[in-house]
Structure 1
Amino acid sequence: MRKTDEMIKNETLWGGLCSGMSSEEKEKEADIVVFGIPFDGNVSYREGAKDAPAAIRESTIPIPATTEYFEDMSGNKVVDIGDFNSEDFETVYLDVEKKVSELVKNRKFFTMIGGDHSVTIPVLSGINKAIDHEFGVIHIDAHFDLCDELGGSKLSHGCTERRAIEMDNVGKSENIFFIGIRSVEPDELIYIRENKVNVINAAEYERLGTEKVIESVKEKMSHLKSIYLTVDIDCLDPAYSAGTGTPKFGGLTSRQLLDLLRGLFDLPIIGFDVVEVAPSLDASMTSVYAGQRIITECWGHHLRKTKGLK
């Protein structure tokens, strides 16, 4: 892993920690640990998500450390431990799995910035290795990512939740809740017809409204002690986030997503990610700024719940 000047700036912006501390001491004292996985070697269409961690970090420099509800986050300790860098996904997988397992065992709330959606697989595997109880996944995306394989790979960005279901402590499709879906592959269609799948697609979301969606998720997921939240930026309509590899018309609005995330943090969220942001695919950088906002608001939701914000 390496640290950049932007990471150091972000430590100050997001609360930071004493410069005299070692990396291990900073992580131990942190309220939130963040890291990037700049990898997009498992995409099925357009590349570019590998550039997201650096771009999202850079985009945070001019913003104040407050939430949209005017809550001050500047006194909270956020430490950026850098990027997991390798063109070899097996190396990335093992390194991320080990680190996430360590963070979960130490009860550290964490944020991962992808990368394509395949980088969520080692994160989930790390959680699986760290705990001895069922955990759930809330998957906010235009796609199910339930393919057994895509493009000949079982570790494609289209296979994320199929691999999750195979993990001992996820174990069944009912422990995953899909929100915002509006695209399905043929083998995914077979799977969701033969298995119990919790899903609210984008059209149904619009009909129900955010409050009802949150109620439905809580009803299905409240029995779980630990939940991981993964946000693919293409859950948003391309009007709000054009820079992504596989945009799909008819998605969530920015307001719907922000309100949804606020409500979901009533659940025992232990960490979250934002993936599939592709800065090079959008000159206006809408996806980068959407990703930035998602991350900082989710930090606010976590800190409001655990520490109280004013």
Structure 2
Amino acid sequence: MMDWTDRHCRFLHRQLSQHTLLYTEMVTAPALVRGGALHLLDYNADEHPVALQLGGSDPAELAEATRIGAEAGYDEINLNVGCPSDRVQSGCFGAVLMRDPALVARCVRAMQAASPVEITVKCRIGVDDQIPQETLPEFLSQMVGAGIERVAIHARMAWLQGLSPKENRDIPPLDYDLVQQMKGLFPNLHISINGGITTLAQANGFLDAGLDGVMVGRAAYHTPADVLCEADAQIYGATTVSRPEDAVRAMLPYIDAHLDNGGRLNQITRHMMGLFAGRPGARAWRRQLSEGAAKTGANSEMVRTALEDIEALAGTLQEV
């Protein structure tokens, strides 16, 4: 979710769900430790619970990045060993580390020693020519041995040679059964499943089957209301359901504050495009935000007007 789940995206998603755990886009340990890019850790206090996702392969550097992230107040530090991006491969972290579970174990031990915040791992079921039925249990065994108690498993292989990062999200077949088998092998390990999950009904199915959590990425971004508005009620037992209209209204003062601090409107509105996906007026909503955010002097009033238009359309349809 690099370049997607930034702080503005997460603040929006928190307006839709109060209980789901939000993750940052992956931040590389070298960027924090050597590059001093501490702005990548910026977040709003309303985002809690929120996890910092780190990428790296040097135990000392990851330990320092973890210390920095913990001091910034994150609720969890997650080591990403699943991203197949070419940018990640060139830095020797991400999914390529599935080939070296012993190194990953050293990394997480160093991270745990650097901070009291829980360290978790996100991985694939394997990479390239690995046999996942053999390598995934070995990988998880080493993680458990290193003291890891929670993992998220993307139920696809990652083909680091021959497939683009985009193709790696769609082409390798999903093996949900293998992930569920891992729960049987590691009953005390908190296992969340990831990959190709688009609805709350699917998520509930995995939870009912015995898995401990479900991680939703692209669907939560492109159709956030469909995934998040009823998540608190269906998953966490809350008594209320959120509405995208209310989320937009909650974003208006946030937009104003961002603009007052010199930010650009489209830095926020680009994450709001899919709020009304599948509803009448969704295309007009996207167009108004896309075109309006580029206009000189555009501010939250443009967003308010777009919201009023879609609400007026809904009212007209109800009257008919």
If the length of structure 2 is used for normalisation, what is the TM-score? 0.31
Larger Rg: 2
